[in-house]
Chain A
Amino acid sequence: METLINPELNNSTFCQWDPRAKIIAFSLLLFSFAMVKSLVLLIAMLLICSIIFAFSGLPVKSLFQRWKIPAVLVLLMGLILLFFSEGHPLLYLGPLEITQEGLVAMLLMLSRLMCMLTLIAVLLATTPLLLLITALRDLGLPGILADMILFTLRYLYTLNDQLEQMKRALTVRGFSAQGLSSYKQYALLIGGILVRSFEQSERVYRAMAVRGYGFEPGPAPDNGWNLQDKALCYSFSLLAFLIGSLQLYFNLPGV
């Protein structure tokens, strides 16, 4: 959680890049990756993704750590595609049949998702979450939504501390998590946390109002993108456009 909110930044180009430009460029590239169906473009996509990852200066270990949870789901979906796609049989594993089409579909899906996850990992690891949400707000995300995301993240720690404290209070009074009654106790605990967090949200809002939240607009943000931001944003957009256009071309009948 801490690394998601405040990642350790290195000196790579991506860390210096304006978060707004980064969001636009990476989103466009993500959309173009999602369109890829051709094997030629698949190789190009893997190459682009590897270059981006190499330039990010992130350790490979960190990538595997971020892949860990989604990889299980992706692998499961890949196995379903591999064993349950109809087409020309290649191999039999007992009652299961592996088809050529299934194999291609699995490889395509795995490569696409892993490339997309890598891009997201690079984005999150090179931009503190606070800057990312502020950039999203600058790009048009409603302010109230951005504030809600920020407050959720800020107060998760407080809520977790409260929950731990309540659990300790239960333990010192002889509570042990056994049987159905323990679930009832946990439900009461969570209910208590919800009520507390509602009350706290009202107090936080008061504290914000006293310091002018919602009354006066703050100064206009510094909107200037430097040459490097523009160059990177345009080149990524061009790349995404090329991938998308080529895929559309390959989709044409007879190509």
Chain B
Amino acid sequence: MTDQILKISNLSFSYKEGDLILDGLSLEVFRTDKIGILGPNGAGKTSLFLLIAGVEKPWAGEIYLQEKKIVPGIFNPELGLVFQDSDDQVFNFSVFDDIAFGPRNMGLPRAEINRRVNEALSVLGIQHLARRAPQQLSGGEKRLVAIAGGILAMQAGLAIYDEPTSNLDLRYRRRLINFIKSHKQKAALIASHDLEFVLETCNRVVILDQGRIAADGRPQDIMGDPLLMEQHGLEVPHSLLGRQE
């Protein structure tokens, strides 16, 4: 079995003609990769994720997930996506039902669905939320439920997080960091403006700007380069500033 989990070749995408969001993007992701996707607003991060998930159709190029071509509109349980706004993702009436939504659509037997839901709840330490309704949850709790349903219960080989720390307090942010770090064997793509979070969780960083990959490498090398970061509307994280001086 190859170590490569995702391969993107010459991917181009636009919502309307002539206005390219992604322009010939190529990327390879390996099993132990935790890739931080950095870039200014409108760089194409969310569009890239929707294309990988097969929700949007590329204008050109191909995506392979575990050597299987992504066909837009076809369900890929090997992939889990956590959306920017948890309210969009936690759409069921109870936390339990929401986490069970993916496994049910995978056609799993009832016992296996229950096992997966309980395991996902216990990994994140949110068993007490199982019977709660989404409107009774805090922002941080909703985010954990979204991760439990979008990634853990699906047992996805590739996890994609779109701005996972937005609206999270420090306590939940720390829980999320610990969770991602503990999943060493699962590949992840993480788009975030929280550079310290990326620095702590990722072992590879990609800068995306104007639909292209502007840089790809070790987090300390890329994020510690003030010129490169400034060129793409980013800043060197505070924790790396000391190293510069």
Contacts and interface: CB of A to CB of B under 8 A. Distances in A.
B126 interface: no
Contact of B104 (A154, A206, A219): A219
Interface stretch (B60-68, B88-96, B177-185): B88-96
Given A207-B81, A215-B105, 10 more contacts: A130-B97, A155-B91, A204-B89, A206-B53, A206-B88, A211-B154, A212-B77, A216-B107, A217-B107, A219-B107
Interface in B75-105: 75, 77, 79-81, 83, 85, 87-89, 91-94, 97, 101-102, 104-105
Given A151-B91, A158-B135, A204-B88, A219 B108 contact: yes
Contact of A204 (B53, B75, B77, B91): B91
B107 A211 contact: no
Contacts of B199: none
Contacts, number: 79
Q: Top 9 closest A-B pairs, CB basis?
A: A212-B105, A215-B75, A211-B102, A218-B104, A157-B135, A203-B88, A212-B75, A207-B89, A130-B93
Contacts of B113: 219
A208 interface: yes
Nearest to A208: B91
Nearest to A162: B87
Contacts of A206: 50, 53, 55, 83, 88
Interface in A189-221: 200, 203-204, 206-213, 215-219
B149 interface: yes
Contacts of B154: 211
Contact of B102 (A153, A158, A203, A212): A212
A100 interface: no
Interface residues of A, number: 27
A5 B88 contact: no
Nearest to A158: B87
Contact of A207 (B83, B94, B97, B107): B83
Given A203-B88, A211-B102, A211-B149, A154 B134 contact: yes
Contacts of B83: 203, 206-207
Contacts of A210: 53, 55, 79-81, 150
Contacts of A217: 107
Contacts of B79: 210
A4 to B, nearest CB: 12
Interface in A120-175: 130, 150-151, 153-155, 157-158
A150 B109 CA distance: 24
B170 interface: no
A218 B55 contact: no
B133 A6 contact: yes
A50 to B, nearest CB: 33
Interface string A216-231: 1111001000000000
B123 interface: no
B87 A218 contact: no
B106 interface: yes
Interface of B: 50, 53, 55, 73-75, 77, 79-81, 83, 85, 87-89, 91-94, 97, 101-102, 104-110, 113, 133-135, 149-150, 154
A218 B107 contact: yes
21 contacts: A6-B133, A130-B93, A150-B93, A153-B93, A154-B91, A154-B92, A157-B135, A158-B87, A203-B83, A204-B91, A206-B53, A206-B55, A210-B55, A211-B101, A211-B150, A211-B154, A216-B75, A218-B105, A219-B107, A219-B108, A219-B110
Contact of A215 (B74, B89, B97, B134): B74
Contacts of B53: 206, 209-210
A207 to B, nearest CB: 4
A200 B106 contact: no
Contacts of B109: 219
Most buried by B among A130, A157, A207, A216: A207
- Most interface-central of B74, B80, B134, B135 (chain A CB within 10 A): B135
B88 to A, nearest CB: 4
A221 to B, nearest CB: 9
Nearest to A131: B93
A142 B27 CA distance: 43
B88 A200 contact: yes
